[in-house]
């Protein structure tokens, strides 16, 4: 399980997100309790997702839609 600190966000599907800038890992905890880690996520991309008007839509468009660029693993 990730040691990344998660920050709650306002989203209908995402509960919280966190980022490890050294490992370039984005951690996403969904409202259903599942948690995933996405690789190759730069700090600027994390900040764009975190600060977006729609966190979920931005995450889906910029990360989730590109699994080859951002491989992921389920943590729980």
Over 40-73, what HEC string results?
CCCHHHHHHHHCCCCHHHHHHHHHHCCCCCCCEE
In this predicted model, what pLDDT tens digit does every residue of 23-66 receive, in sequence order?
Answer: 999 999 999 999 999 999 999 999 999 999 999 999 999 999 99
Report the pLDDT value the prediction gives residue 2, as an integer from 0 to 100: 53
Report the pLDDT value the prediction gives residue 58, as an integer from 0 to 100: 97
Report the pLDDT value the prediction gives residue 76, as an integer from 0 to 100: 77
Radius of gyration of the chain (CA): 11
Tell me how far apart the alpha carbons of residues 24 and 2 are, in angstroms, rounded to a whole number: 12
Tell me how far apart the alpha carbons of residues 27 and 63 are, in angstroms, rounded to a whole number: 12
């Amino acid at each position: 399980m990730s040691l990344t600190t998660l920050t709650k966000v306002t989203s209908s599907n995402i509960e919280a997100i966190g980022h490890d800038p050294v490992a370039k890992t984005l951690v996403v905890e969904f409202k259903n309790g599942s948690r995933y880690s996405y690789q190759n996520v730069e700090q600027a991309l994390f900040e764009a997702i975190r600060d977006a008007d729609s966190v979920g839509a931005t995450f889906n468009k910029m990360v989730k839609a590109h699994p080859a660029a951002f491989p992921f693993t389920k943590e729980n």
